[in-house]
Structure 1
Amino acid sequence: MKRKTFIQLSTTLMATPLLSSFKVLDQPERLKNWAGNLTYSTDHVFYPKSVDEVQQLIKKHSKIKPLGTKHCFNAIADSKDNLLSTRYLNKVISLDKKAKTVTVEGGIKYGELAPYLHKQGFALPNLASLPHISVAGSCTTATHGSGVKNGNLASAVTAMEIVIADGSIVHLSKAANAEKLNAAVVSLGAIGVITKVTLQVEPTYMMRQRVFTDMPMAQVKQHFEKIVSAGYSVSLFTDWQKDSINEVWIKSRIGTDKDENGPEFYGAKAAKKNLHPIIALSAENCTEQMGVPGPWYERLPHFKMGFTPSSGKELQSEYFVPMRHAVEAIEAVASLGKQIGPHLFITEIRTIAADSLWMSPCHNQASVTIHFTWKQETEAVLKLLPVIEKELSPFNARPHWGKIFTMAPKVLESRYEKLDDFKKTIAEYDPHGKFRNGFLNREIYNV
């Protein structure tokens, strides 16, 4: 199957489905992902409201695939048979204040969970750039925020409840079966439907966010680690069109982090107003900047819950490289600036701490990510990605599982030391491939 099957072209935005409590019937249009670049391959979409309904559906169907908030840009959550949406599995189950954990249903969005936790005096250690994504879906794909000491969102998981292929329920936890949990958290949707997740929380905290513009690339090359360590979470944005970083976003915890409030930061100038990562766009949908204090969940994401994140109609790719190769990898991509520029909205560079999750791109390695938000020019992007992947190959780059990439399955296999063990885990929970789809067949099984 050609790589172009990763993306199914569409010129319309995401359709709003006609919902029932259990199944969508006779949809006038098939579901699309939020960016509108992918149309799902079936109109058989189920919307269970309880774990019991999830079990019934899984027992009934020989092929079915869990579906989160549709924020993936490739076919990882697609199915030509049946989709099971976790949209209505979105409740907080319990908050254990003594153990500092919260247990939620897998379909809850971070933007729904975060305000509840804050009111209860608690917080999550990190959030992604947008709060519109579900807990289970984010963990399944190893979605992340930024910060040299912060792991990806999945690293906060301490326990999970999963409905596996025979309809039974499996409970995994750090306390009872830590290695099984490490295998299953970043599961790529291959093991079952995640119905409950327990996350580690901490006391709530306040943050402020400052933005600086036009940092000379020479400063990045000479002081990269100091720059990305200047706040709790730091992001660098560039379009690769000049020898500089367009914007530096520094998110600092009040009371624990130094506040970068001077007029300059490594040659970059302090912004005089709120900015969007794509500087030509309005900052209306972005979280508050200019050093204004606010709760953690209103500063860690780049975008507010009530607004369309990023540019809306776009494609995304992202590659993880070991932290020790950060500057070399940035230089490698910068050398492609003229090729990349015409098709790019913006690139974001972030850092993530190492974790022990088998299929996480940060497994056993602190990482830097180079993220591309592309114009929705599918053909051009699919031609560019192999060029970028070749430049990043010396650094054993790993792609984000939920974004577009063209890396050969054999290359992926060589970069995930636990892949064979992961396949054994899949076979244990799904021996007949009920949750297998085209994406898993290509990328994990190379068929």
Structure 2
Amino acid sequence: MGEQNWAGNVDYGAARLLRPTSVEQLQDMVRHAGRVRVVGSRHSFNELVSTPDTLISLAELPFDIEVGADGRTATVPGAATYGAVTAALHAHGLALPALASLPHISVAGACATGTHGSGDGVKGLASAVTAVEFVQADGALETLRRNDPEFAAAVVNLGAIGAVVRVTFDVVPAFDIRQDVYDDVQIGPYGDELLDALGQAYSVSLFSDFGSDRFTMAWLKRKVPSDGFAAPSPTWRGGPLADGARHPVPGQPPLGTTRQSTVGPWHERLPHFRLDVPPSSAGNELQSEFLVPRGQAPAAWRALLQVREVIAPLLQISEVRSIAGEEQWLSPAYARDSVGFHFTWVPDVVGVDLALTVLEPLLAQFDARPHWGKVFVTPVREVAHRYPRIADFAAVVHRRDPEGRFRNRFVEQVIGSHA
């Protein structure tokens, strides 16, 4: 069929793609389609979505936002992009506490893979979810809520429990963020000062091209006025305030980045990129990310710097971010405050895989967990063993979908030895 992911490095291999326009039509499709996988914004970089049978896209289901009567929750379509959802929430004076770098990704897909934003006190996107409504394998429409004993398996779910049609979030009052960028930042010798730097704002992103021990840039996003911050300091960690807009990848034009050195609404500053500009052209990058316990992050970063000659030739940019621990069983930040090391690679599949054969054993000594939707070479079964509740997750999947209608080879490898 030729259906591919956003980067063009994965052909889903599906025999057919279905696009229901109503939940009832989706239920009927699931009952009769055999094995299915749900495809979202296609921003995964591995075989997570692949299937030889049926792909289902929910992008044509109706878009509607329902705000709870108390103004503390909002129910949104699972297939909607975060950019569309956040704009609608902001119009109601509401906000989500965290957003990923890209607003173009789908709500259900981002949550299903454990995607996150940044901040010592900010949990992953799935932690804001209070309920998830999905069509399960028999076509029935089911809802799991936060007080349900199976809920911790239902949001970061790898697409294994069903087709998520609606998600309910906890929301907070809308807030403003000031975003500033500093060039050529020195944070070393990478002991506690790294962790201290990551906690210096509501959200901190440190970028490195592995050309030196210094970070090429630091992006600081501060709440206004609650962080007590109005005017930026002219320097931060030895680096000057940027004299113009920056793109995370040095040398790239900043046309699609969110505005810097200004105050603006949360949904227009927490992401690095703007919704109205498409992300970088398909095929221009691959991505990997590994989360380690926060206390292990300085040692892990020092270890990565020791193999910079392996990383740098294939790297566009690396990003270091802090994530608060969360309760979702398959979240890479499950039960531990974490730091994520993200790598945006050049589109060289063979070269990146070779580099990862060096990086992943190195990071394994720090109990690194790969992002479920990115490129990694460690066997999926081995990765699954790094999750203390994997057997509980597998039990929920088998109970909800005993015939494996929503499973593919990737998911079977995750739960196989824990069935």
Q: TM-score, normalised by structure 2?
A: 0.96
Q: Which letter maps to 1:293?
A: V
Give yes or no for contact 2:65–2:88 (8 Å, CA) kept in 1. Answer: no
Post-superposition shift, 1:174? 1.6
Q: Which letter maps to 1:306?
A: D
CA distance in 2, matches of 1:109, 1:217: 35
Aligned to 2:178: 208
Post-superposition shift, 1:201? 0.5
2:33 is equivalent to residue 65 of structure 1: no
Aligned to 1:47: 19
Q: Which of residues 131, 134, 149 is equivalent to 2:103?
A: 131
Aligned to 1:194: 164
Q: Aligned pair in 2 of structure 1 residues 446, 343: CA closer, same or farther (>3 Å)? A: farther
Q: Which of residues 286, 289, 298 is equivalent to 2:260?
A: 289
Q: Aligned pair in 2 of structure 1 residues 393, 412: CA closer, same or farther (>3 Å)? A: same
CA distance in 2, matches of 1:403, 1:41: 18
Give yes or no for contact 2:190–2:301 (8 Å, CA) kept in 1. Answer: no
1:53-111 Cα offsets, whole Å, 9 max, x none, are 11100100221111111010011011110001011235224101515100011101111
Aligned to 1:356: 327
Runs of 4 or more consecutive aligned structure 1 residues displaced over 6 Å after TM superposition: none
CA distance in 1, matches of 2:72, 2:192: 40
Give yes or no for contact 2:187–2:237 (8 Å, CA) kept in 1. Answer: no
Aligned to 1:262: 233
Moved more, 255-264 or 395-404: 255-264
Q: Which of residues 366, 371, 379 is equivalent to 1:408?
A: 379
Aligned to 1:10: none
2:194 is equivalent to residue 235 of structure 1: no
Give yes or no for contact 1:409–1:446 (8 Å, CA) kept in 2. Answer: no
Post-superposition shift, 1:152? 0.6
List runs of 5+ in structure 2 lacking aligned partners.
none
Give yes or no for contact 2:45–2:374 (8 Å, CA) kept in 1. Answer: yes
Aligned to 1:22: none
Q: Which of residues 363, 377, 399 is equivalent to 2:370?
A: 399
2:395 is equivalent to residue 427 of structure 1: no
CA distance in 2, matches of 1:239, 1:255: 33
Post-superposition shift, 1:258? 3.9
Q: Which letter maps to 1:303?
A: F
Post-superposition shift, 1:310? 4.8
- Give the 3-state SS of the residue equivalent to 1:170 in structure 2: strand
5 Å-filtered alignment, 1:68-147, equals 68-89=40-61, 91-147=63-119
2:354 is equivalent to residue 383 of structure 1: yes
Aligned to 2:303: 332
1:179-219 Cα offsets, whole Å, 9 max, x none, are 31111111101111011110010000111100011112416
Q: Which letter maps to 1:255?
A: P
CA distance in 1, matches of 2:16, 2:238: 54
CA distance in 1, matches of 2:417, 2:281: 34
Moved more, 208-217 or 135-144: 208-217
Q: Which letter maps to 2:275?
A: M
CA distance in 1, matches of 2:59, 2:306: 42
Aligned to 1:309: 279
Provide the identity percentage. Answer: 39
Give yes or no for contact 1:64–1:435 (8 Å, CA) kept in 2. Answer: yes
Q: TM-score, normalised by structure 1?
A: 0.90
Moved more, 235-244 or 306-315: 306-315
Give yes or no for contact 1:241–1:341 (8 Å, CA) kept in 2. Answer: yes
Q: Aligned pair in 2 of structure 1 residues 93, 381: CA closer, same or farther (>3 Å)? A: same
Q: Which letter maps to 1:294?
A: G
1:290-313 Cα offsets, whole Å, 9 max, x none, are 1x1111010000000021325651
CA distance in 2, matches of 1:408, 1:373: 21
- Give the 3-state SS of the residue equivalent to 1:347 in structure 2: strand
- Give the 3-state SS of the residue equivalent to 1:332 in structure 2: helix
CA distance in 1, matches of 2:60, 2:300: 41
- Give the 3-state SS of the residue equivalent to 1:125 in structure 2: coil
CA distance in 2, matches of 1:269, 1:326: 25
Aligned to 1:16: none
1:314-336 Cα offsets, whole Å, 9 max, x none, are 10000000001110111111111
Q: Aligned pair in 2 of structure 1 residues 386, 97: CA closer, same or farther (>3 Å)? A: farther
Aligned to 2:339: 368
List runs of 5+ in structure 1 lacking aligned partners.
1-28
Q: Aligned pair in 2 of structure 1 residues 248, 311: CA closer, same or farther (>3 Å)? A: farther
Q: How many residues align?
A: 416
Q: Which letter maps to 1:95?
A: V
CA distance in 1, matches of 2:174, 2:394: 38
CA distance in 2, matches of 1:301, 1:425: 33
Q: Which letter maps to 1:387?
A: V
Root mean square deviation, CA, Å? 1.5
- Give the 3-state SS of the residue equivalent to 1:444 in structure 2: helix
Aligned to 2:193: 223
1:22-71 Cα offsets, whole Å, 9 max, x none, are xxxxxxx6222112222220240011111111110010022111111101
Give yes or no for contact 2:119–2:203 (8 Å, CA) kept in 1. Answer: yes
Post-superposition shift, 1:222? 4.5
Aligned to 1:171: 143
Aligned to 2:5: 33
